[in-house]
Amino acid sequence: MTAYFILYNLPQKLIDSRKMKKKYFFIQVVLLILLSFGSLKLQAQSRKSSKDYLVQITTSFGNMYLVLYDDTPKHKNNFIKLVKKKFYKDLLFHRIIKGFMIQGGDPDSRNAPKGKMLGMGGSDMAKIEAEFRSEHIHKKGALAAARDGNPKKASNACQFYIVHGRPVTGKELNAIELRKGIKYTPKQREAYTTLGGFPPLDQNYTVFGEVVKGFEVIDKIAQQEKDRANRPYKDIKMDIKVRKMRKKKITRKFGYKYNQ
């Protein structure tokens, strides 16, 4: 009662000033609440991003484990969607070239008779816009999207290849840099000269992931006997699965380091 009485007898300007202060205080409280909710939302998003998909490609020669890049979202999301639909179940690695790559994902390869020419499947599916990133190169184990000769270099929606490659000399990399107008980082040059790869394809085909375990499987598949169309005489079927795993666990188990 005393407080009310004192306020009642204050000058009108002071009363108005107090009212304005209360109004501003109320606005500040509302803003703090909104900011708190926003912070919680960001924390939730951060918790979500603490996990990633681990890809497992199963073959008769063993398993390959891969990570897909976040900065090629169209390719990553499309690939995961197809895998979850079991699109790749029993499809073949239909084209293998030692020192270059192993290719698969053609829907026409499922139950394809021996000797059938493959590689045209998926052309009826919507192409994926190219997502070239200078950070992602065609080092050994790189996962990239196949494509036809369209001028926009858009990717086939389902066919992919995994680079086998070979060690590349510094002189070769210098020539490619000059011809393409690109610059490899010391880390990329080290990958090419030690692990190997196929740099002529850089910035021409979208690289959207990489093998983190199972490089020996690439070697085994690439060395198989094949026909003139580079199709293995003995069918190499695949099954692909994805599962979410904490990024820290992926790093600990497979050695892959995420960008912070």
In 3D space, the residue among 174, 207, 176, 212 whose CA is nearest the CA of residue 101 turns out to be 207
pLDDT the model gives residue 230: 98
pLDDT tens for the chain, 260 residues: list them: 333 232 334 455 544 555 555 555 555 544 444 444 443 443 344 345 799 999 999 999 999 999 999 999 999 999 999 999 999 999 999 999 999 999 999 999 999 999 999 999 999 999 999 999 999 999 999 999 999 999 999 999 999 999 999 999 999 999 999 999 999 999 999 999 999 999 999 999 999 999 999 999 999 999 999 999 999 999 999 999 999 999 999 999 999 999 86
Place of tokens 């995994």: 162
pLDDT the model gives residue 259: 84
pLDDT the model gives residue 62: 98
pLDDT the model gives residue 23: 55
Sequence-distant (≥ 6) Cβ neighbours of residue 193 within 8 angstroms: 167, 168, 169, 170, 173
pLDDT the model gives residue 252: 97
pLDDT the model gives residue 16: 55
Sequence-distant (≥ 6) Cβ neighbours of residue 155 within 8 angstroms: 75, 127, 128, 129, 130, 145, 146, 147, 205, 206
pLDDT the model gives residue 45: 42
pLDDT the model gives residue 247: 97
Give the H or E element holding residue 245.
Answer: strand 239-246
pLDDT the model gives residue 25: 55
